[in-house]
Chain A
Amino acid sequence: MANIFPRWSNLLPLKIAVCAGTAAAGVALAFSYYATPKTLTVGYQPSQPIPFSHKIHVDQLGLDCRYCHSFVDVAGHSNVPTGNTCWNCHQHVQRESPKLAPLHKSMNPTYPGYDGKPIEWVRVHKAPDFVYFDHSAHVNRGVSCQSCHGDVNKMEVVYQAQPHSMAWCLDCHRAPENHLRPLEEVYNFGYDAATYLSSNPQLGVKTTEQLGLKLKEQFKVNPKTSCATCHH
């Protein structure tokens, strides 16, 4: 009786096992790399009901972050401006721009489609429900908006610039000196540590690393890394 399986098939199970193993390892690697906030959430850039440009408002007009996000330094939650905040200016400025239709709808009683309902902004940065992040604890201690939200002043449409994963949070909690600024510079998107140093020689600090360490020591910044710091 002839052999059913030719000779070359002897190695077939091994080949299949090796290929399948490689493929599985590849999938696992790809998953562990791509299925993380670093790839999944960085760059998330939904379109908003009004194409609000931070670039125009912050970079060109020089509005401070706190003009709109007015409670960022007193509350855990950084508020999105009320309709009134926008309307204060835009009832005079660019009033007829078609892009502002949702604002008129919400704020302008003489507008045909006026319903007085608030604008539904699409959330870009979302911490999970079990994370209790507090903005005021950070911005009042020398951590800039820029450190977590990126160069918002350059963004036509806001996107997520940093992964906001737990590991990313811990990187800074373990070494806050890399991100600390003098309190006056927290909302300054044009801040550059080297420039700051050269214009403040009285600090007696040579490098930007030293500046971070000096601020950490001076502000007694001692971020915690235990679970209850953020989860309760």
Chain B
Amino acid sequence: MSKRIWQHPEVPADETTVAWRSAGQLQDTPAFREWLDREFPQGAAEMADEADLETSRRSFMKLMGASTALAGFGMAACRRPESYIVPYTKAPEWVIPGKATYYASAMPRAHGATPLVVTTFEGRPTKLAPNHLHPDASGTDAFAQASVLDLYSPSRSRKVLNAAKPAKRADLNAAIAALAADKSAKIGFLFGADDSPTRKRLTQELAAKFSAAKFYQYEALTAESAIGDGVKLVADFSKADRILSLDCDFAGTDPQGPVTPFFDRRKPEGKAYAAKPDASKMNRLYTVEAAFSLTGGMADHRLRISPSQVAAVAAQLARELGVAVAGSSAITDAKHLEWIKAMAVDLKANAGKSVVLAGSRQSAAVQQLALAINQALGNIGEGKPLLVLQSEVVGLGSLATLKADIDSIAVETLVVLTPSNPIYDAPADLKFAESFAKLKTSIHLSDRTDATAHASTWHIPAAHYLESWSDARTARGAYTVVQPMILPLYQDCVSEFELLLALLSNDGKLLNGEGEKGAPSPAYTAVRKTFVALGGEGDVPWKKLLRDGFLAGSNYPAATPSSREITIAPVNAPTANALEVIFATDASVYDGRWIDNAWLQEAPDPISKITWDNAALIAPKTAKALGIYDEVVETEPVSSVLGLEGKYGKVGPDGEGENRKQRMITVTINGETLEIPVVISFGQAENTLVIPLGYGQAFDKDDELGRTPANQSHVGLVGVNRGFNAYPLRTAATAYFASGATVSLIKGKTYLLALTQEHSAMYGRALAREISTIKSDLDEKGDFKKQLANVAKQGNDSHAPPNVYLYKPETSATWDPGKDGKAQPLINDPLHQWGMSIDLSSCMGCTACMVACQAENNIPIVGKEQVAKGREMHWIRMDRYYATQKDNTFDSDNPAMVPQPVACVHCESAPCETVCPVNATVHTEDGLNAMAYNRCIGTRYCANNCPYKARRFNFFDYNKRNPLIAHNLYKGPLGEKSVGDPDHLQKNPNVTVRMRGVMEKCTYCVQRLKDAVIRQKRGQKQEVLVAGKPSTEMEVTTQTLRIPVDSVKVACQEACPADAITFGNLLDEEKSALGRSKHIERNYDLLNYIGTRPRTSYLARVKNPNPDMPDAPFIGKATIHMV
């Protein structure tokens, strides 16, 4: 029974940092103790509740007995089944069976396309990676990584709908042809907010053909530019020494230009650790925001303030910098005033090298003000950190004008091409659905059968961007091609251009996919025609475009922003009786369009760590003021059976995770109410309530709260019964935030939220380490140099004895020479020794790595119920800690947020290997801790012995049995099989798909390593051929066989927009970025003092505070102890 638990040393008494993961831990609730003590919560390994209902142990035995008996009849199947090899009849160019082919493409998006390199196997796209050749390359975020799954989504729209009922393609063709023939049609086009040169050209042709045509643009959470039609501000972070974000999540959901250069300057040693640490080369980020965003987590100085007050802060700053602002707004809080004044001095001192960014969803006045401040500081222009560019998205009407035009019958036919879902996500007071119903004809093109699809006359299934020819512009306007990787999976899928071209053609014939008789899609011809005007005639520039993915030197021209007089009126700060509600962009579903993407749903929200749902977030003090804090934190119901007190007293009957339900509140605002679960959120402005948008789109009979089944055909299994829809609360005037909300706790109503913030909670001292570039008078940590030198001695590492290598090295007393008397180094490959470093100074915690890993390594999703039990399968997890200073006199409720990605660290002296009874986890010669799935018998000893909690166990056959079908996992062989679902086409053929009962974990993408090494070995033969001499005379050296420096990238590293993950061959030493990162002072091993010798090390986070700021003494000390 008793498990020997390593007693981590106590945190010393003089430690001023307090760190925690969740409100539960801060309150030290029994449930959190439970998570910390165990690999999986008590009872998680047994079939409980549902199992008892569906399959009892007895019925299971019966079943198994019967199937064993039946197996006897099947002995004939012992013969080897005949399988076939089916080659092509005519070999397509470039396709080598079994080898990946890579193509440049791009994902079109509102803030500028994401340039991509797509991995395809025999024409089947499986994985997306950023295109590093591209001038606007900036890694990928979770949305881009997960978008490949949309292509294979089982719930993807496949059939033409007419008035929400399946219709014949021929009828649609006739309708399109009739429309194309009517040149006087009152036709409107509703586009998304992304920029595409071909669309621009076709728009002009449409305007010429249809005299009454009107064009609009709408995406739910993309605001219009406040500084001129199509004028955008794009930051060049490589030139920005000081950055102020006014409620702008430029690193997360509100990009303002390629963000990788920003993160390069978070590293004191510079990009790829090439230089000596120099604090003056780092940038400094000030953030003013309400609730933690990814950007806010990176801030050196963060002011938490409700969104309505941001304008006043901007106005105060403008006044400090001598910019004229009308209106009587004023900052009343003396601390805030001091903060702003000190920041203003710093911005002024760095005039021309600083940038002030306003959140795109803040009011036009704040945008204007930010522009005026940048102009006053001289930050704008060529060679400066901010560019004003003229995009081609101009002359388009808004959703409000569209509504007016429909109502005045200026538009009778509407073609809806936006990726948003206006029937569901338009501001409630606009009553857009009512006007939409008045349209004579509406044609909706989308890959989802969402609310708008159901409201439209015609719904056409859209081709995915990986299936269609298109083009796009990135943040700075580089012309970027969107290439199809595969023909549309379903024959009715039509791309946007194919539809527009059909309307433009004389006969109105809708050609999609391959067109007729194998001719290229008409969209191909259209894109090529657009390109000729930009890049020139002929195949040479076109092929270069296809290879590189972009046209060099095709950026947007500079623009002159329109400015006007700015008035900032004072706005009352929210109070406990009149809260401010923030309608937030969700990190999983964005505006609701990705509700059916299982990878995004299962990836925890980077801040709140909620999976599969949304919830209202509230600051602890506000919750206390409302009198709901105790109920919200004490989420565990008292045991109904025993009513025990003490350590496990308040955990449910068997302590299972799924009993941890959240309380629900009623939010009333704008005359509407919403019932939603509530979660405590740290670092959030007082009297604000954050509600992420995009959920609650459809419900069925399995809904936990018994909500009326509705809209079931709008979503698939992934998106049904997910969260709560906040769009009805939102009006056009309060599209981002609304004030005057009231909140009340609903007695006795709870909702299961799958929160991962306490999962895989580790013990340990100095897990994540943070230092500051300045000296603080409050402690003895010293200046930057001294703090750097002390990184490796933080926590227990200052006084723990040096590690003894258990594997008998030559110098140790236990050394046992082999037969030849020479040392037998266990890890003995002289060519490659793999290693990784993770830089906490640039990691913002965005979860792109988690999704990239899921795509690369065939990691299944497990569904909400299983996540709640702590069974999520992500090989790399994103820990998120909060830490504050006990003596923080500036704002003790504004902790630092420290993300820390943790995957298997590939210990050289791995605790998991020694306990495996079947040698299923062993070390390889090149230093990997390998997992042989076929040997694994599922004892889970290894996971129990892993101090990093990096191992994941397949409790069910998640790949074969869809975990999203209610109770399906518990039905065993009777459950519904999902073999042959379209999403299985996404699987990486070079990675085993694991079955039930085996352990798995990060492999350092061993399939990529093997591929790189084998490719290098092939070069040997190449050398023989080139040299023209016999192979027996050829010299093979280490250089022949060792892969080039930094030539292999693992999936998480490749995806990272912050370049926080460095991977490589340790034997390359200083030549490689990895080698350099291992030798800098910030490098430390996680849990070094337990002697596992991990191959993945971490680099301490560095904060670069301004010593003159009032909160400076409390910055840069968030070293995390979890004891």
Chain A nearest Cβ from B990, distance in angstroms: 6
B96, B933, B990, B1038 interface centre (most CB from chain A within 10 Å)? B96
Q: Is B928 interfacial (CB-CB < 8 Å)?
A: yes
Over the window 79-102 of chain A, the binary record of Cβ atoms lying under 8 Å from chain B Cβ atoms (1 yes, 0 no) is 111111100000000000000000
With A79-B87, A83-B87 already in contact, 18 other A-B pairs whose C-beta atoms are closer than 8 Å: A74-B96, A76-B98, A79-B96, A79-B97, A123-B82, A130-B992, A134-B1010, A134-B1014, A140-B1018, A140-B1020, A140-B1021, A141-B1020, A182-B1030, A183-B1024, A219-B1020, A226-B923, A227-B924, A232-B1007
Are the C-beta atoms of A226 and B1032 separated by less than 8 Å?
Answer: no
Are the C-beta atoms of A228 and B1003 separated by less than 8 Å?
Answer: yes
Chain A nearest Cβ from B687, distance in angstroms: 53
Question: How many angstroms from the CA of A229 to the CA of B1017 in the assembled complex?
Answer: 14
Which one, A22-30, A40-48, A55-63, is touching chain B? A40-48
Are the C-beta atoms of B1014 and A118 separated by less than 8 Å?
Answer: no
Q: Is B746 interfacial (CB-CB < 8 Å)?
A: no
- Contact partner of B90 (CB less than 8 A), chosen from A40, A84, A222, A232, is A84
Chain B nearest Cβ from A220, distance in angstroms: 5
Q: Is A106 interfacial (CB-CB < 8 Å)?
A: yes
Q: Is B540 interfacial (CB-CB < 8 Å)?
A: no
Q: Which residues of A have CB within 8 Å of B83?
A: 122-123, 126
Q: Which residues of B have CB within 8 Å of A111?
A: none
Q: Is B1034 interfacial (CB-CB < 8 Å)?
A: yes
Q: Which residue in chain A gives the minimum CB-CB distance to B1006?
A: A232
Q: Is A119 interfacial (CB-CB < 8 Å)?
A: yes
- Contact partner of A227 (CB less than 8 A), chosen from B85, B90, B930, is B930
Are the C-beta atoms of A75 and B98 separated by less than 8 Å?
Answer: yes
Q: Is B1031 interfacial (CB-CB < 8 Å)?
A: yes
Over the window 167-183 of chain A, the binary record of Cβ atoms lying under 8 Å from chain B Cβ atoms (1 yes, 0 no) is 00000000000000011
Q: Which residues of B965-1017 are within 8 A (CB) of A?
A: 990-992, 1003, 1006-1007, 1010, 1014, 1017
Q: Which residues of B have CB within 8 Å of A106?
A: 89
Q: Is A191 interfacial (CB-CB < 8 Å)?
A: no
Are the C-beta atoms of A231 and B992 separated by less than 8 Å?
Answer: yes
Q: Which residues of B815-834 are within 8 A (CB) of A?
A: 829
Q: Which residue in chain A gives the minimum CB-CB distance to B919?
A: A227
Chain A nearest Cβ from B31, distance in angstroms: 37
Q: Is B438 interfacial (CB-CB < 8 Å)?
A: no
Given contacts A44-B80, A118-B86, A123-B83, contact A231 B933 (CB under 8 A): yes
Q: Is B6 interfacial (CB-CB < 8 Å)?
A: no
Are the C-beta atoms of B91 and A84 separated by less than 8 Å?
Answer: yes
Which 8 residue pairs of A and B lie closest in terms of their CB atoms, listed nearest first?
A77-B98, A228-B930, A183-B1031, A83-B89, A226-B924, A227-B932, A120-B84, A137-B1014
Q: Is B2 interfacial (CB-CB < 8 Å)?
A: no
Q: Is B1036 interfacial (CB-CB < 8 Å)?
A: yes
Q: Which residues of A have CB within 8 Å of B1030?
A: 182, 184
Q: Is B925 interfacial (CB-CB < 8 Å)?
A: yes
- Contact partner of A120 (CB less than 8 A), chosen from B80, B86, B931, B1010, is B86
Q: Which residues of B have CB within 8 Å of A137?
A: 1014, 1017-1018
Over the window 76-119 of chain B, the binary record of Cβ atoms lying under 8 Å from chain A Cβ atoms (1 yes, 0 no) is 00001011111111110000111100000000000000000000
Are the C-beta atoms of B1018 and A73 separated by less than 8 Å?
Answer: yes
Q: Which residues of B have CB within 8 Å of A118?
A: 86-89
Q: Which residues of A116-146 are within 8 A (CB) of B?
A: 116-123, 126, 129-130, 132, 134, 136-137, 140-142
Are the C-beta atoms of B91 and A232 separated by less than 8 Å?
Answer: no
Are the C-beta atoms of A182 and B87 separated by less than 8 Å?
Answer: no
- Contact partner of B924 (CB less than 8 A), chosen from A76, A123, A224, is A224
Question: How many angstroms from the CA of A119 to the CA of B1040 in the assembled complex?
Answer: 40
Q: Which residues of A32-68 are within 8 A (CB) of B?
A: 40-41, 44, 46
Question: How many angstroms from the CA of A228 to the CA of B87 in the assembled complex?
Answer: 29
Are the C-beta atoms of A227 and B922 separated by less than 8 Å?
Answer: yes
Given contacts A140-B1020, A183-B1024, contact A220 B1036 (CB under 8 A): yes
Q: Which residue in chain A gives the minimum CB-CB distance to B92?
A: A82
Question: How many angstroms from the CA of A140 to the CA of B1020 in the assembled complex?
Answer: 7
Chain A nearest Cβ from B1022, distance in angstroms: 9
Q: Which residue in chain B gives the minimum CB-CB distance to A68?
A: B87
Are the C-beta atoms of A136 and B829 separated by less than 8 Å?
Answer: no
Q: Which residue in chain B gives the minimum CB-CB distance to A125?
A: B85
Chain A nearest Cβ from B1031, distance in angstroms: 4
Are the C-beta atoms of A77 and B1006 separated by less than 8 Å?
Answer: no
Q: Is A1 interfacial (CB-CB < 8 Å)?
A: no
Are the C-beta atoms of B89 and A84 separated by less than 8 Å?
Answer: yes
- Contact partner of A116 (CB less than 8 A), chosen from B89, B1021, B1040, is B89
Chain B nearest Cβ from A32, distance in angstroms: 16
Question: How many angstroms from the CA of A41 to the CA of B80 in the assembled complex?
Answer: 9
Report 23 cross-chain contacts, Cβ distance below 8 Å, ordered by A residue.
A71-B97, A71-B98, A71-B99, A79-B97, A81-B87, A118-B89, A119-B86, A119-B87, A120-B84, A121-B86, A123-B82, A123-B85, A130-B934, A130-B992, A136-B1014, A182-B1031, A183-B1021, A222-B829, A224-B829, A224-B925, A228-B1006, A229-B924, A231-B934
Q: Is B935 interfacial (CB-CB < 8 Å)?
A: yes
Q: Which residue in chain A gives the minimum CB-CB distance to B1005?
A: A232
Question: How many angstroms from the CA of A168 to the CA of B718 in the assembled complex?
Answer: 46
Are the C-beta atoms of A121 and B992 separated by less than 8 Å?
Answer: no
Are the C-beta atoms of A107 and B89 separated by less than 8 Å?
Answer: yes
Q: Is A195 interfacial (CB-CB < 8 Å)?
A: no
Question: How many angstroms from the CA of A80 to the CA of B1018 in the assembled complex?
Answer: 21
Over the window 743-779 of chain B, the binary record of Cβ atoms lying under 8 Å from chain A Cβ atoms (1 yes, 0 no) is 0000000000000000000000000000000000000
- How many positions in chain B have a CB within 8 Å of any CB in the partner chain? 51
Q: Which residues of A have CB within 8 Å of B924?
A: 224, 226-229
Question: How many angstroms from the CA of A112 to the CA of B632 in the assembled complex?
Answer: 76
Q: Which residues of A have CB within 8 Å of B87?
A: 79-83, 118-119, 121
Q: Which residues of A have CB within 8 Å of B1041?
A: 220
Question: How many angstroms from the CA of A201 to the CA of B1029 in the assembled complex?
Answer: 16
Are the C-beta atoms of A71 and B96 separated by less than 8 Å?
Answer: yes
Chain A nearest Cβ from B477, distance in angstroms: 39
Chain B nearest Cβ from A164, distance in angstroms: 12
Q: Which residues of A have CB within 8 Å of B1007?
A: 132, 232
Question: How many angstroms from the CA of A120 to the CA of B85 in the assembled complex?
Answer: 6
Question: How many angstroms from the CA of A70 to the CA of B794 in the assembled complex?
Answer: 58
Q: Which residues of A have CB within 8 Å of B80?
A: 40-41, 44
Q: Which residues of B have CB within 8 Å of A232?
A: 930, 990-992, 1003, 1006-1007, 1010
Are the C-beta atoms of A73 and B1010 separated by less than 8 Å?
Answer: no
Are the C-beta atoms of B96 and A228 separated by less than 8 Å?
Answer: no
Are the C-beta atoms of A122 and B90 separated by less than 8 Å?
Answer: no
Question: How many angstroms from the CA of A117 to the CA of B1017 in the assembled complex?
Answer: 37
Given contacts A83-B87, A140-B1021, A224-B924, contact A218 B96 (CB under 8 A): no
Chain A nearest Cβ from B1029, distance in angstroms: 10
Are the C-beta atoms of A83 and B90 separated by less than 8 Å?
Answer: yes
Chain B nearest Cβ from A74, distance in angstroms: 6
Are the C-beta atoms of A182 and B1020 separated by less than 8 Å?
Answer: no
Over the window 160-186 of chain B, the binary record of Cβ atoms lying under 8 Å from chain A Cβ atoms (1 yes, 0 no) is 000000000000000000000000000
Q: Which residue in chain B gives the minimum CB-CB distance to A136?
A: B1018
Q: Which residues of A178-216 are within 8 A (CB) of B?
A: 182-184, 200, 203, 214-215
Q: Which residues of B have CB within 8 Å of A80?
A: 85, 87
Q: Which residue in chain B gives the minimum CB-CB distance to A232?
A: B1006
Q: Which residue in chain B gives the minimum CB-CB distance to A226?
A: B924
Q: Which residues of B have CB within 8 Å of A200?
A: 1032
Q: Which residue in chain A gives the minimum CB-CB distance to B830?
A: A222
Are the C-beta atoms of B91 and A82 separated by less than 8 Å?
Answer: yes
- Contact partner of B97 (CB less than 8 A), chosen from A77, A136, A214, is A77
Q: Which residues of B have CB within 8 Å of A41?
A: 80
Q: Which residue in chain A gives the minimum CB-CB distance to B1024?
A: A183
Q: Which residues of A have CB within 8 Å of B922?
A: 226-227
Question: How many angstroms from the CA of A203 to the CA of B1032 in the assembled complex?
Answer: 8
Chain B nearest Cβ from A94, distance in angstroms: 19
Q: Which residues of A have CB within 8 Å of B89?
A: 82-84, 106-107, 116-118
Q: Which residue in chain B gives the minimum CB-CB distance to A139?
A: B1021
Given contacts A75-B98, A140-B1017, contact A129 B992 (CB under 8 A): yes
